[in-house]
Amino acid sequence: MHLRIRLTCRKYEIWALSFFSLVTGLYVLHFSLALILVNKEVPQTRGMLYPRESETREVRSLDGIWNFVRSDQANPTQGVRDEWYTKDLSQSRPTIPMPVPASYNDITTDNLRDHVGTVWYDRKFFVPRSWSKNQRIWLRFGSVHYEAFVWINGQKVVKHEIGHLPFEAEVTDILNYGAENRITVMCDNALIQTTVPQGKITEVPNDNGMTIIQSYTFDFFNYAGIHRSVHLYTTPRTFIEEVEVTTALSENNSVGEVFYSVSVNGSAANEAINVLNIQANLYDKEGAKVANTTSDGKLDGCLKLTGVKPWWPYLMHPEPGYLYELEIKLLAANEELLDVYRLKVGLRTLSWNKSQFLINGKPVYFRGFGRHEDSDIRGKGLDNALMVRDFNLLKWIGANAYRTSHYPYSEESMQFADQHGIMIIDECPSVDTENYSQELLGKHKSSLEQLIHRDRNHPSVVMWSIANEPRTASMNADSYFELVANFTRSLDKTRPITAAIAVPYTQDKSGRHLDIISFNRYNAWYSNTGRLDMVTQNVIDEATAWNKQYNKPVIMSEYGADTLEGLHMTPAYVWSEEFQEEVFARHFKAFDQLRKKGWFIGEFVWNFADFKTAQSYTRVGGNKKGVFTRSRQPKAAAHLLRKRYFALGRDLDQCQFPEDLFTYIADLIS
């Protein structure tokens, strides 16, 4: 039987199994020829400044409990056809309460967890009468995973694809002022071969007939929903749309320059852009003004200051994460204040060569983690308590960096990393990239464009990761990653590019397009399981081979072992706490030998905390490679890692040991 489910969105074109042989045939044909990729333009993000209040702007949160409906899995476009967005959802279907922000998957007690396809949210909100006066109103989502369609008062306002990234729309002319309004969101979690990340949807028989199955090759659970905050905010009619900041240091890091470039939008901007002025003021942490400038009809300029406090990573300096505040004032020709936007700025330089990565001229050795945005009940929903706890643990353990594996993390966490001096390798959502196609390339590039647009001003972001474990042994990977890397460089030349590679160095076709080589490898776990005697030399050999092949700095971006907290076994045995400690120690030994070679620049444990995965017989309740449990308590290996990270901090950056790093045992041990 040909069962074809066709939705308004192309991605639901699912064809029956009888079609399979034809598809397979095309697939083989396709991959027997090299893919010819065309470098097409990707849409450019505009605006999207993080919503902040000022004397010219108001921000209102729409977070809270929304109404929620899941579509029938076999009929995912019914809501669109029946126009559920034209009235309260409760008039179309019984609704249940759903928190925003949160993933919806683990909130209920039924099988919503494994739902594939569309779900609907709505809520009412009031817009004050005062907001109708001569200004603009914007609706902004921090992220909806994976695809969102949004209506206000029944009118379509925005559609956005790719999770973990913000999007917004102006809603000035759609709102009812001094009255109630309704917002409706349809969210679709389906991943297919041209989404970022990729997945597959198949239709298979079950006890009730046929059902749809979502599969993906990565292991983290495909949580979905309105994951980050929803805001309404106001701007003046002529307003600061974008601010881009870069910094420079000279004279032994004592003289600093902050280069800013502003985009202005609005009627005055279009008619008489040359008579608008930007007044830029820079304030230190105490609020003292340390530099200012007024542009003469220009929208960019430079603030120069002496006696700079540079932005330093945690444990590399006694005062890490130093931030200034940049105040941007948009003035009309007659000096009238049109708009004000403030953002934090860290002054630092980045540089890299064939063996080093330097910050403010000092070589960096990364000691950190791969992480996930993941917790019990909330899934990938923004949770400030969790975020603050995680940063406390990162600092407790002496880490100076993490990779946003495997997608962009919340804007709030990026701001927190700036403040605490935690360096970020900022990763786009491309995981296990394969079956390269023109459409995939476009979306992959778009995910990087949106990410860089969002995060370019964060001093904590020190590197872009353009993929995790792409299938780079394939012939097509070469041209594909050349295009992706060049595109990334065209957007930001101030940061190096990496990708976490898992294919053997003998097969890889992406490394030559990167600035820094990162590799993931699970010695004694996925290879040579249980063989602790087969870790150290293998790590040394592989890292050395990567360096030899590409003559670039090398990072081990993942290593680790699943560990069930409380399981103790000696001699060490897989899944036990002892085994995780031993695996780490064997890696440490390799890293210390590699560090002496001069081009090995970092170690990242997989993973910071245990996290949820799709159901599998290799995972007991999820991926347990965390150094912390899912509820953020340390496993034994956390104490070991803490000693190493602080030892590295003291050796390389002269940091102090915390008082409780070593427990008293006996006078005999020093």
Q: Report the site for ligand GCB in 515-574 (rule: CB under 6 A).
A: 520, 558
Pairing mode of beta strands 401-403, 423-427: parallel
Total number of residues shown for the chain = 670
In the complex, minimum distance from the CB of residue 219 to ligand GCB, in angstroms, rounded to a whole number: 4
Spatial distance between the Cα atoms of 199 and 215, rounded to a whole number of angstroms: 6
165 φ, ψ to 5°? -130, 145
Spatial distance between the Cα atoms of 643 and 662, rounded to a whole number of angstroms: 8
**Total residues at the site for ligand GCB (CB under 6 A)?**
11
Catalytic residue among 449, 469, 582, 603: 469
> Does the active-site annotation cover 469?
yes
Closer by beta carbon to ligand GCB, 95 or else 613: 613
- Cα 298–chain centre separation: 33
In the complex, minimum distance from the CB of residue 67 to ligand GCB, in angstroms, rounded to a whole number: 34
Closer by beta carbon to ligand GCB, 219 or else 426: 219
Could you give the string, one character per residue 332-361, with x where binding to ligand GCB holds by CB under 6 A and - elsewhere? ------------------------------
Spatial distance between the Cα atoms of 406 and 469, rounded to a whole number of angstroms: 10
In the complex, minimum distance from the CB of residue 370 to ligand GCB, in angstroms, rounded to a whole number: 7
Cβ-contact 481, 513 below 8 angstroms: yes
- The reply on whether position 606 binds ligand GCB by CB under 6 A is yes
In the complex, minimum distance from the CB of residue 179 to ligand GCB, in angstroms, rounded to a whole number: 47
Closer by beta carbon to ligand GCB, 216 or else 487: 216
Q: Report the site for ligand GCB in 170-229 (rule: CB under 6 A).
A: 218-219
Cα three-residue angle 408-162-482, rounded to 5 degrees? 75
Closer by beta carbon to ligand GCB, 123 or else 403: 403
Q: Report the site for ligand GCB in 494-513 (rule: CB under 6 A).
A: 502
Q: Of the candidates 67, 143, 468, 474, which one interacts with ligand GCB according to CB under 6 A?
A: 468
Q: Report the site for ligand GCB in 617-636 (rule: CB under 6 A).
A: 623, 625
What kind and span of H or E run contains 324? strand 324-331
Q: Report the site for ligand GCB in 382-411 (rule: CB under 6 A).
A: 406
Cα three-residue angle 433-438-439, rounded to 5 degrees? 80
In the complex, minimum distance from the CB of residue 51 to ligand GCB, in angstroms, rounded to a whole number: 31
In the complex, minimum distance from the CB of residue 549 to ligand GCB, in angstroms, rounded to a whole number: 20
Closer by beta carbon to ligand GCB, 138 or else 606: 606
- The reply on whether position 430 binds ligand GCB by CB under 6 A is no
Spatial distance between the Cα atoms of 555 and 452, rounded to a whole number of angstroms: 22
Closer by beta carbon to ligand GCB, 68 or else 611: 611
Closer by beta carbon to ligand GCB, 138 or else 519: 519
In the complex, minimum distance from the CB of residue 609 to ligand GCB, in angstroms, rounded to a whole number: 12
Cβ-contact 79, 92 below 8 angstroms: yes
- The reply on whether position 469 binds ligand GCB by CB under 6 A is yes
Cα three-residue angle 570-571-575, rounded to 5 degrees? 75
Closer by beta carbon to ligand GCB, 167 or else 216: 216
Pairing mode of beta strands 517-520, 554-558: parallel
Indicate the residue type of 318. Answer: P
Closest CA to 606 of 510, 543, 533, 521: 521
Spatial distance between the Cα atoms of 444 and 270, rounded to a whole number of angstroms: 32
Q: How many other C-beta atoms lie within 10 A of the C-beta of residue 382?
A: 23
Cβ-contact 51, 99 below 8 angstroms: no
In the complex, minimum distance from the CB of residue 369 to ligand GCB, in angstroms, rounded to a whole number: 12
**Tokens linked to 380:** 């990938």
- Catalytic site positions: 469
Residues that bind ligand GCB (CB under 6 A): 218-219, 406, 468-469, 502, 520, 558, 606, 623, 625
